[in-house]
Chain A
Amino acid sequence: MSSVRSRDVAAVAPSFLVWTGFFFAPILYLFVVSFWSVRQYKLVTDASFDNYLLAAGEYRHAIVFTLALAALVGVVTTVFAFAMAYMIRFYAGRFGNVLLFIALTTLFGGYLVKIYAWKGLLGSTGIINQALLAAGLISEPISWLLYSPFAVVITLVHFLLPYALLPINAALRGVDDAPIEAARDLGAPPSRILIDVILPQCERGILTAFALAFFVSAGDYVTPQLVGGTDTFMIGNFIQSQFVNRMNAPVGAALAFATLLMTLLVVALLSLLYRRILKACAT
């Protein structure tokens, strides 16, 4: 028995060595660095909470703005994905498989391509403005489509929709027909069935979808940099600039861990309140 065990440990070992060396140790080191400081472009190992105080002070506004924007993206993506999954479960038939295929196919490819595609679409000479002008709906291009929080939200929703669709779709597929039909036979309106029967059973899928969309948006810096313009600076941009432009890894690291902590708190709070929100909706 003991020889079998050591062989199994040996099988798992290479993966965990890579994990330890290139994930756990670097993250741990970054966490330690977040308490250090920089003097003349060199790391100084005097531990203090100064960087975190900076995150809570000077950068509080950026963190709150980022969390709010990420929460908006999370809610829009989750509701959109739920509507799609609902449509697939109850109305689509074979078309549902087509939608799922599209979502799966576009899941792991073209991150940068998706972002710059929106840059082209939303610009003042972009296709959306062109179409609206041609249709006579507007007389001059809408300037806030691109380089605005709106552009960041629509680009992130587009990128995250497939990720949100899969867990919600799996959850909705697991919802039994019998209680839905029973509720309908007893005269419950569709909104009531949704809140009392379907949504409580989809808790895990919905929370997973929201958490994914929220985490990714809160940590993204590429999207705001490419389509956000000068008034949509998210915390990721500040973190990236601390590292790249100011060579200040400690402040950047503290900002990253502070934001990470805040996003975890938001998701934990939401999962505690999920049932209560549903109850409040029911009354």
Chain B
Amino acid sequence: MTLRAACWLTFGILSAAFLVAPLALVVAFSFGENPHATLPFGNPTLQWYRELFAGDDFLAALQNSAIVTSCVGLLSAVLGTAAAFGFTALDRKLSRLGAQLISLPVMLPPLVLALALATAFSATRIPLGLGTVIPSHLIFTQPFVILIIYARLTAFDRSLIDSARDLGASSLQIFFTITLPLIAPSLIGATLLSMAISLDDFVITFFTIGGGMTLPTLIWGMLRTHLDPTINALGTLVLVLTLGLSVIAFKLTRYKG
């Protein structure tokens, strides 16, 4: 190995450490007796998790997050798949324009989107709650499902569908026996990804939920009040859930960057 290659490799290892170390430390602190974010970690303990799970706030936030995440995942999957099918049949220019429009919410700063939604909900007197959080998440999760499923649909062998149709299969039969099994891994992957994005969202949720809490808004509340050591346990839990969903999603969609 040349000196140049060795330097680049060192840089690569350092940048990997830069990406991972802050997250790894939160996880490490969550299992250590030391209540402050300082070294040493202290003896290993599950104390912070026990305290976290004993709190009513946490259980309520967990329940809200579970409801929002599963509804957003399900709705993203259904709406996104339908839209992706529509796009494949429309002419290319039109579907391209449609895809760009529907992806706009992902490109706008979350704060602008959050304030637009909060202002509109207040003007129309729609009461804030989980019912307003779910569609607000949907607008920035559905683009991911649409783009992933659209890419999968344009890549697969249409002759399977044509022969099924020639043999007299109905559209519904074709969908459930051929298309759906073929796109299933991508669909599950895209759904999990939209769930990870929904579960992690803080800004939009904060402005559209009204009084309730989800896991990220609970983290925010803990940060604003006092230094509560159970925050590391909560942070670890959110990391495990969101990163876990992402890993499975990327494995299923075979996306490697």
Restricting to B1-30, which residues have a CB under 8 Å from any CB of A? 5, 8-9, 11-12, 15-16, 18-20, 22-23, 25-26, 29
The reply to whether B101 and A19 contact each other, CB–CB distance below 8 Å, is: yes
1/0 contact trace for B189-222 toward A, CB 8 Å?
A: 0000100110011110000000000001001100
Given contacts A19-B139, A240-B111, whether A102 and B98 have CB atoms under 8 Å apart is no
Contacting pair B113 A113 (CB below 8 A) = no
Query: B250 within 8 Å of A by Cβ?
Result: yes
In the complex, which residues of chain A have a beta carbon less than 8 angstroms from the beta carbon of B83? 11-12, 14-16
Size bin of chain A's contact surface:
35 or more
A216/B109 in contact, CB under 8 A: yes
Tell me if B155 counts as interface (CB < 8 A to partner A): no
Q: Give which listed residue, A9, A114, A117, contacts B86 with CB less than 8 A.
A: A9
Tell me the nearest residue of chain B to A211, going by C-beta.
B107
Give the residues from 69 to 116 in chain B that come closer than 8 angstroms, CB to CB, to chain A.
Answer: 78-80, 82-83, 85-87, 89-90, 98, 101-102, 104-105, 107-113, 115-116
Q: Which residue of A lies closest to B109 (CB)?
A: A219
Q: A109-B239, A111-B216, A130-B39 are in contact. Are A26 and B116 (CB under 8 A)?
A: yes
> What's the count of A-B pairs with C-beta under 8 Å?
244
CB nearest neighbor in A for B98: A12
Least Cβ distance of B23 to chain A in Å?
6
Closest CB in chain B relative to A109 CB, distance in Å: 3
Segment of B56-64, B157-165, B177-185, B241-249 in the binding face? B241-249
List residues of chain B with CB within 8 A of the CB of A112: 202, 216, 219-220, 223, 235, 238
Distance in angstroms from B168 CB to nearest chain A CB is: 18
Residue contact B16 to A105, C-beta cutoff 8 Å: no
B120 with A215: CB separation less than 8 A: no
Interface residues of A in 156-196 (CB under 8 A from B): 158, 161-162, 165-166, 169-170
Contact with B along A87-102 (1 / 0, CB 8 A): 1101110011111111
Nearest CB of chain B from residue A265's CB, rounded to whole Å: 16
A262 within 8 Å of B by Cβ? no
Secondary structure of the B contact surface, majority rule: helix
Q: Sort chain B's interface into a size bin.
A: 35 or more
Contact assessment for B22 and A220 in the assembled complex, using a CB-CB cutoff below 8 Å:
no
Chain B residues near A33 (CB, 8 Å)?
A: 119
Contacts of A92 in B (CB 8 A): 8-9, 12
Query: Does A22 contact B231, Cβ atoms closer than 8 Å?
Result: no
What distance in Å separates the Cβ of A180 from its nearest Cβ neighbour in chain B? 15
* A127-B242 in contact (CB<8A): no
Contact status A25-B79, CB under 8 Å = no
Which of chain B's residues have a CB closer than 8 A to the CB of A161? 15, 18-19
Taking a contact as CB atoms under 8 Å apart, the answer to whether A80 and B15 are in contact is yes
Across the interface, which residues of B come within 8 angstroms of A228, CB to CB?
Answer: none
Inter-chain contacts of A215 with B (CB < 8 A): 107, 109
What chain A residues lie within 8 Å of B125 (beta carbons)?
none
CA distance A252 to B256 in the complex (A): 40
Q: Are B146 and A15 in contact (CB under 8 A)?
A: yes
* Pair B116/A30 contact, Cβ less than 8 Å: yes
A143 interface residue per 8 A CB criterion: no
Asked if A15 and B80 make an inter-chain contact with CB atoms under 8 angstroms apart, the answer reads yes
Contacting residue for A218 out of B82, B109, B223, CB 8 A: B109
Q: Note all chain A residues with C-beta closer than 8 A to B5.
A: 91
Alpha-carbon distance between A170 and B119 when the two chains are bound, in angstroms:
39
The 5 A-B pairs at the shortest CB distance, nearest first, are namely A219-B109, A109-B242, A120-B37, A11-B86, A12-B86
Q: Which residues of A contact B (CB under 8 A)?
A: 4-5, 7-16, 18-19, 21-23, 25-27, 29-30, 33, 43, 80, 83-84, 87-88, 90-92, 95-114, 116-121, 123, 125-127, 130, 158, 161-162, 165-166, 169-170, 215-216, 218-222, 226, 236, 239-240, 243, 249, 252-253, 256, 260
Further 12 A-B residue pairs, CB within 8 A, beyond A8-B89, A19-B105: A12-B90, A15-B142, A18-B79, A23-B104, A27-B108, A91-B12, A102-B16, A108-B197, A110-B243, A113-B239, A123-B37, A219-B108
